[in-house]
Amino acid sequence: MVVASQSRLMDLRGVGPLVAARVLVEVGNIARFADRNRFAPWTGTAPLVASSGEQVRHRLSRAGNRRMNHMLHIVGTTQIRLDTPGGAYYRRNLADGKTRMEAMRGLKRRISDAVYRQLVADARAADIEEFGTGPGGHCGATHQSSAVDLPPHIDTSDQPLPGPAKPTLQPSPPSRKPTAKQSLERAG
């Protein structure tokens, strides 16, 4: 599946074929996330503020996709074991006085951002290969087209609707209850 999707997720250190396949299955279309800050809560790597008084703390979010969070944890533990920039980041956080959980939480967020960037790059590469344009390409647009060219082919979903709809509601029947004016005429 990973090879067929032409994803380059396995270029990231610590991401093997099983992790890459699980990430691709869980994420689906990366375009559903506007940016990395929307992707992080979905993966459960965006920390929540758990401060009290003058003590500023963050804690792990239990929300989000737990399977995806587990895949990021696997990548994080692999990067810690190997001599990688992620492992160096983890050790720097430990040296700065953070707990192992806090350091791992920060590393998982960095990995989440890297995974997001790679998935976006893969989607752009697929769009360029398939359509010859980036993700903002328009139907029928080419490098030679301009504003004076003929309009591009319009698909049936892009065509305008055939005018206003005909009314379907029946006129309401006259009410049996007399109006205030009719009541005054009968009384007077």
pLDDT tens for each residue of 26-85: 999 999 999 999 999 999 988 777 778 888 777 777 788 899 999 999 999 999 999 899
How far is Cα 113 from Cα 40, in angstroms, rounded to an integer? 7
Does residue 19 fall inside a structural domain?
yes
Cβ neighbours, 10 Å, residue 182: 10
Length of the chain: 188
How far is Cα 71 from Cα 27, in angstroms, rounded to an integer? 12
Could you tell me the two tokens for 135?
Answer: 């993700």
For residue 85, the enclosing domain spans 2-131
Does residue 180 fall inside a structural domain?
no
Q: Residue 48 carries which DSSP code?
A: E
Q: Where are the beta strands (DSSP E) in 24-182?
A: 48-49, 58-59
pLDDT confidence tier of residue 86, bands split at 50, 70 and 90: very high
Does residue 151 fall inside a structural domain?
no
Does residue 141 fall inside a structural domain?
no
> What's the mean pLDDT in 100-107?
92
Higher pLDDT, 180 or 86: 86
